[in-house]
Amino acid sequence: MRKYYAVSLSLISLILLVLAFLVISCHETNQPDGKIGVVVSIAPQADFVEAVGGEKVIVTVMVPPGADPHTYEPTPSQMVGVSKANMYAKVGSGIEFELAWMDKISQQNKKMLVVDCSKSIQMMEMEEHHADEHDDKQHQGEDPHIWLSPQNAKLMVGDICSGLIKVDHQNESYYTRNRDEYLAKLDALDKDIREGLSGVINRRFIVFHPAWGYFARGYGLEQISIEIGGKEPSAKDIADLIQKAKELGIKIIFAEPQFNPRSAEIIAKEIGGRVVFIDPLAEDYIGNMRLVLDELVKAME
């Protein structure tokens, strides 16, 4: 009797142990192959997470390439993806998608670690340089496009790495090794941009959507935006920009694939130039920044 009692006790503890293990496993990961599920807001962050997380992570992007993060709304299946994730890396700099959706996303999965990729970054004011000489700068609050500077990208990668270590501590050395390799690549990119732009004399460029403020500040350039405060320019704004482009000898007008290039095309036509697309949301971060560098050097030299 006594022996039977002891056996059932150890059986119960065994069952409890198995149950506890199952519960812990569920907390660890809900993804196939035991991978860590990470959700990010925009595609460049997916590149950062994959660079650090390698084969240990599965990444889901909320705002798909080509969509505008200022207006995008997630689909129901994306919200289901959120409910299975271990970690969410938000940009954290005030992009409208997150302002509108971050509370609902956190509510969807309260166990998910939310990493703020802006927390180590010195935010800058949105400086919109206008063509009108009397109103050269307008401030529209903080500039949310933090990821478009390789120096900022390094800080974002560091925060993503710390987050992955929190949710998957046993692979810490794997994550830190990958992080260090990627940071070295970002340093090389930064050096190449600095050198590539060193000989450029006319350091101003015209772009539709003012996404390149951190980039411009980092490398001593001036971004002149067509869009002002998120709005299409008026006929007078366009006339002023045409005048300014002529004065500055600018022949290339930049636009982003997420936005209608109509006003950029009007200006390009008037100055006898052309529109070139540069993508602030491409997933291959380093490759894309090198393309942007090439286009800027060609446009400004």
Residues that bind Zn ion (CB under 5 A): 211
Q: Which is nearer to Zn ion, 36 or 95 (CB)?
A: 95
The span from the CA of 299 to the CA of 29, in Å, is 48
The span from the CA of 251 to the CA of 269, in Å, is 10
Q: Which is nearer to Zn ion, 109 or 225 (CB)?
A: 225
Residue nearest to Zn ion (CB): 211
- Shortest distance (Å) from residue 211 CB to Zn ion: 5
The SS3 of residue 85 is coil
Q: Where are the alpha helices (DSSP H) in 198-234?
A: 213-218
Q: Is 131:243 a contact under the CB 8 Å cutoff?
A: yes
The span from the CA of 109 to the CA of 79, in Å, is 9
Beta pairing class for 36-40 and 87-90: parallel
Cβ-based neighbour number of residue 205 at 10 Å: 24
Q: Which is nearer to Zn ion, 175 or 259 (CB)?
A: 259
- Shortest distance (Å) from residue 213 CB to Zn ion: 10
- Indicate the residue type of 230: G
Tell me the backbone φ, ψ of residue 209, rounded to 5 degrees. Answer: -100, 130
Q: Which is nearer to Zn ion, 126 or 186 (CB)?
A: 126
Burial of 35 (0-12, 13-18, 19+ CB in 10 A): middle
- Shortest distance (Å) from residue 96 CB to Zn ion: 9
Q: Which is nearer to Zn ion, 143 or 168 (CB)?
A: 143
- Shortest distance (Å) from residue 98 CB to Zn ion: 12
The span from the CA of 280 to the CA of 66, in Å, is 10
- Shortest distance (Å) from residue 145 CB to Zn ion: 5
- Shortest distance (Å) from residue 209 CB to Zn ion: 5
Q: Which is nearer to Zn ion, 89 or 211 (CB)?
A: 211
